[in-house]
Amino acid sequence: MSAVGVALLGAGNVGGGVIAALGAGGSRYTATVGRPLELRHVLVRDSARARPGIGAAAVTTDIATVLGDPAVAVVVEVMGGEEPARDYIARALAARRHVVTANKEVMAKHGASLLALAEQHGVSLRYEAAVGGGIPIISPLSRDLLANELTAITAIINGTTNYMLTGMARDGVDYAQALAEAQRLGYAEPDPSADVEGIDAAYKLAILCGLAFHVAVAPEDVARSGITRLGARDFRYARELGYAIKLLASGRVVDGGLVASVQPTFVALDEPLARVDGVLNAVQIEGDLVDRVLFEGSGAGPGPTASAVLADVLDIARDIVVGRPPGAAVTPRPVAVHAPGAARARYYLRLTVVDRPRVLARISGVLGDHEISIASVIQAETDEHARTAELVITTHQAPGSAIAAALEVIRVLDVVVEVGNVLPMVGGARA
């Protein structure tokens, strides 16, 4: 029984998880595929480093060695980063090797061209592990939900920030403390900017929008703001109002175009996404036939990512064994990407103002001039020495563009000391 040859590009945490899973599940995978899987090569940067579970003969630093082996049918890329991963994926596809990747950055920036290259050469490019770790979401979007006209994606797709926000809400700690704890536990990198500034989530959202709406979405099309400006007071007000704060990645069809954003959002506590805590991820899809469907699970780590990678490997291997050709890729269409202001939402506004009469009347007057209706007002934390007060205003539904225009006026009012956080709200009272 001839084996299906597999090569692994990268042997870090995820690569190590794939190697361990291949060793532990060997006989089971053979039964699933009909042939054994054989790990023939592992591409690494430093071949002198000891790597448990990998035979020395399999280790190489040369991509030509990998692609020069005719027994390699599937190349698994788990190196991370844009280059040389993109180049290696392209070379593997051109050499008529099937490719499985966990690389969100490469797929967000170059997915369309790489999928076209795979189709040109009659091979598969699979990337379930690029979004959501162990959550099966790429396959359902590619197949199971095709009968639906999908209209919205709302997701929590960065475990680091979700862990931090959960801690800030539960323990009342500030951003710096939450980050330090996430770094201590290994959830956040020494440079956490890709996570806390929403860059990682924007890559993943671009991939999801492309699949769900069959459109070409670049990461730079995603409006993005991170969690660094959130403070303990925002979480206190969220609790008082009946909300959690989550970093939501959202893609929505609006007026024939797409609004895509990653931003901290107030999520009503009766919404399923409000209860997704810790390092868990979740993706909520809305369609005309299924209404809402939620996928939830562990979004990162060697185990969940290896699960998604090997699911793709096994699927390709079964196709090889039975002689089934790869399916045709869906060609994405151009789409107008609207600014977030095109969408309507309720908003939370936190302002520091001068503590004197008629301040609220002036601010509400500006909101009224922009046809924004106030839903509630909280006045708190009056500073008698500075003669300032904090106002928290929630609005009824309004276009984001109207909120932005009103804030331009409010910022320059002589009674406004500072405009703090301004966050959209999901769920709860609607008007």
What is the pTM assigned to this prediction? 0.92
**Residue 430 confidence (pLDDT) above 60:** no
Indicate the pairing of strand 344-354 with strand 416-426: antiparallel
The residue ranges of DSSP E strands in 225-290, in sequence order, are 243-254, 257-268, 280-287
* Residue 201, SS3 per DSSP: helix
Q: In the structure encoding, which two tokens stand for residue 294, read together?
A: 């939620």
**Residue 178 confidence (pLDDT) above 90:** yes
**Residue 189 confidence (pLDDT) above 50:** yes
pLDDT (tens digit per residue) in 215-273 = 889 999 999 999 999 999 999 999 999 999 999 999 999 888 899 999 999 999 999 99
Our answer to whether residue 109 is catalytic in this structure is no
Is the Cβ–Cβ distance between 361 and 413 less than 8 Å?
no
Q: What is the DSSP string of 253-267?
A: EETTEEEEEEEEEEE
Q: Using pLDDT thresholds of 50, 70 and 90, give the confidence band for residue 431.
A: very low
Maximum distance among all Cα pairs of the chain, rounded to whole angstroms: 85
pLDDT (tens digit per residue) in 70-83 = 999 999 999 999 99
Q: Which of 104, 109, 204, 246 is flagged as catalytic?
A: 204
Q: Please name each of the domains of the chain with its CATH number.
A: 4-133+302-322 (3.40.50.720), 138-298 (3.30.360.10), 343-426 (3.30.70.260)
Is the Cβ–Cβ distance between 6 and 58 less than 8 Å?
no
**Residue 48 confidence (pLDDT) above 80:** no
pLDDT (tens digit per residue) in 384-412 = 777 899 999 999 999 999 999 999 999 99
pLDDT (tens digit per residue) in 106-161 = 999 999 999 999 999 999 999 999 998 778 899 899 888 989 999 999 999 999 99
Q: Using pLDDT thresholds of 50, 70 and 90, give the confidence band for residue 429.
A: low
Mean pLDDT across 318-330 = 85
Indicate the pairing of strand 280-287 with strand 374-383: unpaired
Q: Using pLDDT thresholds of 50, 70 and 90, give the confidence band for residue 1.
A: low
Q: In the structure encoding, which two tokens stand for residue 26, read together?
A: 């060997």
